Amino acid sequence: MPTLSRRSFLASSAALVAAPAVWTRADAAEGEVIVVGAGAAGIAAARRIAAAGRPVRILEASSRIGGRCATDTKIFGVPFDLGAHWIHNPDVNPVLAATGPGGFDISPVPRATSLRVGPRKARDAELETFLAASLKTRRAMTDLGKPKTDFPANRLLPKDLGDWQATMEFLLGPLATGRDLKDISAFEMARAPDRDDSFCRQGYGSLLAKLVSGINVQLGSAVDAIYWGHNLAIDTPKGNMLARAVILTVSPEVLSSDAIDFIPPLPKRVFDAAQKLTLGSYDHIAFEIPGNPLDLQKDDIVYEQATGTRTAALLANVGGTNMHLVEVAGSFGKELAAKGDAAMIDFGTEWLSSVFGANVRGKIKRSHATNWNADPLVRGAMYAPRIGDAEARKILLEPLGGKVWLAGEALHDTQWGTVTGAWESGVRAADAVLRRAGGPVDDGLSVYRGKKRKKK
């Protein structure tokens, strides 16, 4: 059981004399809904609450908005998406729909792919073989048959991929989901929708940040404790506050850590569920390479004929700039990130040299590596479901004492690992809060439910 500081004791005492735990229409408009986290899920939830006329506030532990969807313009002097970059299915993307027309340049991912075999371009016959293998593999990923039990997704791969086996495993596993294909549930992989991708020239994070306009956001406001006994209170380094409801958008990795104290502690089943939903690994190793010595187009995507898991992909001339992103992910990306930024940049340089020739080393000006696994506010990059995760998700969708709701991309049934999944999860959590408050909800999205526990 966590010990109570004087500040925590005061917050706990205040919670005991707060308004009734069950909302009524009469008192629902009186206190704030507190949203913890200013990522896609938190912004979506806060906008939904505000649109219903309820007071809402976002508490964000970091100094910026966006969570894992954030754009930096200082490192290279151009928009650099530190995390999420791919805008999935732009025609139906809820973030784009909320942004509205104008202000951002959205362009589709190039249909053509640059393919390398060692330090040279793939020959026409090799490219045809790759495209045929890719089409065959994508079709196979939805061909489950009628198995009675779940199994690893890599068992869906065709047996005749030959030299392209490792590349296909990388594209559909680490590059698409942040997790090795052998560690992903075949059932859940087959349910995931197809993705038609686009980019935003100004950065996906910049687009998302626009949507927080008009919402009360407190940056640098980490939540130390949540008191969810008879009433509800939040403890932060900047002070304590009462809340009508809390929408908590931290990652499962953070939820199962000691980062936030829950008083009373989280129920064991909820704590165990949070521990099960671990995040995968995905990072950008960014290079400034002026003059286009790689002879690639704007937003060109480059794959290699991989021989194992030690591989990467390249997004070149991002948004028409001199910035190039070497993408590393999955178990190899996690091992590499654990060695630190220098090791990541060394690998990125080595990989570029191996596919474009040694001369590329002398063309690099500036470099930077992200490391989401080392970020204490996230502790990973994105979620992809393993066998048995579905039950854990259901547990985390239940509200804690009818007062605290969880939201985030890891809790979406089909859009896991995406900004879309985070956004829709936030909307659903907000709708559940509004229903509890007696507020109108008219979009038909299902309500999330559940309970929790704290690590001892």
Question: Are residues 233 and 131 located together in one domain of the fold?
Answer: no
Token match 């490219």: residue? 127
What token pair was written down for 357?
């020739």
Does 264 share its domain with 288? no
- Of 379, 405, 425, the one marking the end of a domain is 379
Spell out, as residue ranges, where the chain has pLDDT lower than 70: 1-30, 438-456
pLDDT, tens digit (0-9, with 9 covering 90-100), for 408-438? 999 999 999 999 999 999 999 999 999 987 6
Q: What is the rounded distance in angstroms from the CA atom of residue 187 to the CA atom of residue 440?
A: 35
Question: What are the tens digits of pLDDT across the range 367-409?
Answer: 999 999 999 999 999 999 999 999 999 999 999 999 999 999 9
**Whether 55 and 121 share a structural domain:** no
The domain boundary residue, chosen from 379, 409, 428:
379
Tell me: do 77 and 177 sit in the same domain: yes
CA distance 166 to 149: 26
Residues 135 and 193 occupy one common structural domain = yes
Burial pattern 279-310, b for ≥16 Cβ within 10 A else e, equals bbbbbbbbbbbeeeebebeebbbbbbbbeebe
Q: Which pLDDT value is given to residue 374?
A: 97
Whether residue 364 sits in one domain with residue 241: no
pLDDT recorded at residue 438: 66
Task: List the structure tokens of 273.
Answer: 């569920």
Q: d(Cα 114, Cα 324) in Å, to the nearest integer?
A: 14
What is the CATH classification number for the domain harbouring 32? 3.50.50.60
Do 126 and 188 belong to one domain?
yes
Judge whether 452 lies within some domain.
no
DSSP 115: E
Q: What is the pLDDT of residue 450?
A: 33
Q: Is residue 110 located within the same domain as residue 146? A: yes
Answer whether 36's CB lies under 8 Å from 202's CB.
Answer: no
Cα–Cα distance measured from residue 226 to residue 216, given in angstroms and rounded to the nearest whole number: 20
Is residue 443 a part of any domain in this protein? no
pLDDT at 74: 97
**Domain carrying residue 134:** 72-83+100-200+282-379
Distance CA 337, CA 374 (A): 8
Q: Which 8-state DSSP code applies to residue 205? A: H
CATH of the domain at 173: 3.90.660.50
Total structural domains within the chain: 2
Query: 274 with 286, same domain?
Result: no
> Are both 248 and 286 inside the same structural domain?
no
Nearest to 30, CA basis, from 437, 399, 431: 437
291 and 418 part of one domain: no
User: Given this model, what pLDDT does residue 239 score?
Assistant: 86
Q: Residues 388, 357: one domain?
A: no
| Residue 389 contacts residue 279 (beta carbons within 8 Å) | no
Query: Has residue 93 been placed in a domain?
Result: no
